[in-house]
Amino acid sequence: MQIQLKYGLNPHQGAARIVIEGDGAPLQVLSGRPSYINILDALGAWQLVRELREATGKPGAASFKHVSPAGAAVARPLSDGFRRCQMLPEEDYSPLAAAYVRARGADRLSSFGDMVAVSDTVDTSLARVLDREVSDGIIAPAYEPDALQMLKRKQKGGYRIFRIDPDYEPPDVEYRDVFGMRLEEQRNTARITPDLLENVVTDKAAFPADVVETLIVATIALKHTQSNSVCVAYDGQVIGMGAGQQSRVHCTRLACSKADKWLLQQHPRVLALAFKDGLGRPERTNIVDQFLLWDALTDAEKKQMISSLDEAPEPLTRQERAEWIAGFEGICLSSDAFFPFRDSLDRASRSNVQYVLQPGGSYRDKQVTQAANEYGMVMAHSGLRCFLH
C-alpha cells in the first residue's frame, strides 16, 4: 500500500509517499495530512514506547521532535511540585496521560509542536491533555471513540492521528537509499533488560529496583535517539537528552544542563514567579527558561523578561542551585557508547548523577571508573552500543 505525504523533508521536495510492502495496512492515517518528517517521528516514537511497555510492563509515552525524543517516560504518579512547574490543572490523570505529561515535561521548550507516541489505547484523559498543548500529531495502537473525536477537532481537523497495529513486526533487514546507493543492515533488535546492569565496575555496586527501571527507560530512549547521545533520567523519565553531537562530552553537557533546568524548575522561587495575566503556558515556559539562565542574559533580555512579571524575581545563586540539585536521590545517566575520557563524569557529578550505565570498552576505562569512584557513583558496563544514524 501507499500513503501520499504532504511533502518531503522540506516543502520544495515533492513526490513524497510512504510505501508499505506486503498484505494489510499496519499504519492508518485517521486524520490530518502527514509530512515526511511526521512519519519519521511517528514511527521512531512508536518503536520507543512499544519497547518501554515491553520492558517495564507500564504504559509508556514519548514526545518526539526531529527524529529524536525530547522526552520519554513510563506511568508514575505526578508529584505536586512537578504538576505545578508544568502549569497543569489539578485533575485526575490516567496512567497513560501521566506518562505523556512526564514525557513532555522533560523539555517543554523542545516538545513544542511534538509528535506524540503512547503504548496503550488513547483515553479521554490524555485527549484533554493534548487539547491544551501545541502538538503536531499522535501515534497509538487504538483510541477510545470519545478521545478520537476530541482529537479530530484539534487544529480544525488538521491534527495528524495515526493508528498502528501493535502486533506488526518489520522485516529483519532494513534498507536506506543514500545518494543513489542502497545500504542494508540487520534491524537493531537488541533488548534493553536489567541484565545489562550486571557488570558493575565501581566500588559501590547496588542498583535499587527503582533505579534499574529508570536506567532501562533512559537506555531505551537512547536506542531511538540520533547519536552521539547521552540521557539523564530520574523517577522513570528522561529529564535531559543530549542528542546528535559529535563529541561525547558535548552530549553530556547538553543532557546535564537540561536536567539541571528540569530539577530547578521545581524550586520554590521558580514556582513563585508572578506572571502577568494573559500569558499563555508557552510564554510562561520561555520565561522560566530565561530565569534559570539569568547569569547568561544581557541586561536587555533581563528587562524584557521582568516586563512579563508583576514583580522582579530574585535570581538563584550558584550555591542555591547546587543545594537544590543535591536534594534529589536516584539521578541516572546512560550513554549510547563508551566514555573516551573522564570529563563526562566530571560534568555529570555537578548534576548529582549517582548511577551510570555505559557500554565500556574505552582505552581509558580505568580512568573513567576512577572518576566514578571519586564521586561515589555506581557504574556498570553493558557491553551494548546503541548508535542510531
Catalytic residues: 65-66, 228, 389
Q: Rounded distance, CA 335 to CA 333, Å?
A: 7
Asked whether 252 and 344 are in contact (CB, 8 A), the reply is yes
Cis-peptide into 352, omega within 30 deg: no
The burial class, CB within 10 Å (0-12 / 13-18 / 19+), for 354 is buried
